[in-house]
Amino acid sequence: MIENTAITRHSKSDFKSLAELAQKIAFTRANNAKIKLCANYFRELEREDVRRAVQFLGEGAYSNISGKRASIGHKTVAVLAAEFCEIDYDLVFRPSKNATGSTSETIQRLLENIPEARAKWSAENLSLEETEAIFEKLYHSKSRAAKQTVLLENWTKMTPLEVKFFIRMLGQGSLKIGLESTSVVEAIAHAFNKNSELVRFAYLITGSIGETAVLAKSDRLEDAQFKLFHPLSFMLADSIESKTLQHVEEFIAEEKFNGIRCQVHISGNNIEFFTRDLNNTTSGFPEILEFFKTRNLPDVVLDGEICVFKNDTILPVQLLQERMSVKKLTAKMLADFPVVFVSFDIIYHDGQSLFGDSLIERRKKLEKLAKQYHLPISSQKEINSNADVEQLFKQALAHGNEGLVLKRKDSVYEYGQRRKSWLKVKKPSVSLDAVILYAHADTGKRNGTYSDFTLGISVKDDDRYEEEFIPIGKTNCAFSDNKVAELNKRIKELVIDRFGPTLLLKPDLIVELEFDDIRINQRTKAKYTLHLPRFKTIRWDLSPSDVDTLKYVERMFDEKLAQKRERQGDNPSFVMY
């Protein structure tokens, strides 16, 4: 008797279909067409597979809020792939990677082409569920060797195309298929016939694109609820160019703290801190954790800023970065750079989310809480004229803060938005002359032109370096198309080498850069990077000998640290009840 009991897997629920879809999206130019491809695919999946597929396409191997990472470097993956293909890493893999500009694409093509590699893999049509289990296994493998074993074992079960996207998903970065997360949101709305605004809000609240898709599929978008210990995307402030503002009385003013923005979630003795990129940063601030533990607060979520605070003075954020860059906090660090959490907003209190309330109402609740439990909160000032703004702005700078945030009194907490309800007034930025070292092909609106640049400063007469120039930052130029075309023409004449989409240039083009701040970054050659660098103008009149030096950058940094900062005194940036 012939039994026909073969379990047929839903055809679309394998990882191979997802990889093929991703590849198709990469070669589809119109955004609407990309969204349609995604939507058609999502519609055919079962509930758990929708979660997985949307998750993998939208955020990568792990949900952003899970805090999970594969923690496996490009180089490790590349060396492993060379081993898998039985080729020499330095002699064969590396030049191949330089030609494509992408580790994952190189691996895909070598697995397809090299006979020794071809003999090792076969398409086993791993399901999305099995793929998720592999991602989990990688997360739980702690040693590099263990992770390598997991990779090798599973590469044999995938097609090279699957391997390429598998690797890209592990990076939690872009899949390089020109699909923004906003387009994935659109695709979910499209697939399940939902209003895209509702889907977007559910995403912001849940923080998980996969869960959002499940809610949309099962008609439960309105169930999207804010949950403790699931960070909510922050409300952000838009910049204003001039300090003069119409209807200034509709706003209040707070100082823009020179610190790190942070969301604190508290429920009993469970306390967690999240930074703006929604990463859990609790372990970095044991004294704040201790502080909140002693307060016995009700369940609450506070929005605020962590500042270094010593001798009644707010100290520069650079010191905080120094503190955060060490692997293990020492007692000396804690004593030298004590920190304080200044709350300026409350978004959840005692079982109720408050982001639909007006700023005034939220402030009332925050003040009440602060008085009862003795919490530091920002000083909030009424403003009646632009002269008031000017005066408070000066005061903020004197405190060592960055400027002001003007907040509309009747505004709700617009999570994940940067609109006009909050406006930041900042001091003018600083500038320096840098040289273009690398040009990167744009994949967005200006597809095909070079408008992303790595910029260098001079270390020609610097004994610490052998190079002439070293990188100090990377930025996009926001010039008109004509100017970009002119720049691109010159760039083509300066090309020394190509690495896929990146060009190595002869150092010749000088650019005046504006930036907000200088930050320590131990992972770079210069040990510093510019914060928010922007192209001001191309200095056709300058030559490489005019480029500013690293020593100049270091001097600016030191001057910033040494800048006189007033004590909080009678008119403080924040109050402690």
Largest Cα span, the chain: 93
Q: Which of residues 537-576 bind another protein (CB under 8 A)?
A: none
Give the bridge partners for 302, in sequence order.
264, 346
Backbone angles phi, psi at 326, to 5 degrees: -80, 150
Using the rule CB under 8 A, is 106 a contact of another protein? yes
Cβ proximity to another protein, 169 vs 315, nearer residue: 169
Give the number of C-alpha atoms closer than 13 A to the C-alpha of residue 255, restricted to the C-beta side: 29
Please state the closest distance from residue 77 (CB atom) to another protein, in A: 16
Backbone angles phi, psi at 456, to 5 degrees: -125, 155
Q: What is the DSSP string of 391-447?
A: HHHHHHHHTT--EEEEEETT----TT-EEEEEEEEEPPPEEEEEEEEEEEE--STTT
Alpha-carbon distance of 401 to 395, in angstroms, equals: 9
Please state the closest distance from residue 443 (CB atom) to another protein, in A: 4
Please state the closest distance from residue 176 (CB atom) to another protein, in A: 8
Cβ proximity to another protein, 176 vs 490, nearer residue: 176
Alpha-carbon distance of 469 to 296, in angstroms, equals: 54
Mask 124-163, x = binds another protein (CB under 8 A)?
----------------------------------------
Alpha-carbon distance of 181 to 187, in angstroms, equals: 10
Q: From the DSSP assignment, how many helices (H) and strands (E) are in the chain?
A: 20, 22
Using the rule CB under 8 A, is 454 a contact of another protein? no
Please state the closest distance from residue 363 (CB atom) to another protein, in A: 47
CA dihedral of 69, 438, 81, 67, whole degrees rounded to 10: 0
- Tokens at 260, concatenated: 């790190």
- Return the residue of 358, 431, 443, 488 that touches another protein, per CB under 8 A: 443
- Return the residue of 92, 278, 333, 542 that touches another protein, per CB under 8 A: 92
- Return the residue of 86, 88, 180, 410 that touches another protein, per CB under 8 A: 88
Specify the stretch interacting with another protein by CB under 8 A; choose among 83-91, 139-147, 188-196, 291-299: 83-91
Residues near another protein (CB under 8 A), total: 29
Cβ proximity to another protein, 100 vs 275, nearer residue: 100
Q: Which of residues 13-42 bind another protein (CB under 8 A)?
A: 26-27, 29
Characterize the bridge pairing of strands 450-458 and 418-426. unpaired
- Return the residue of 47, 71, 73, 113 that touches another protein, per CB under 8 A: 113
- Tokens at 143, concatenated: 């040693």
Q: Which of residues 466-485 bind another protein (CB under 8 A)?
A: none
Cβ proximity to another protein, 99 vs 575, nearer residue: 99
Q: By CB under 8 A, name the binding residues for another protein.
A: 26-27, 29, 87-88, 91-92, 95-96, 99-102, 105-106, 109-110, 112-114, 176, 178, 441-443, 447-448, 500-501
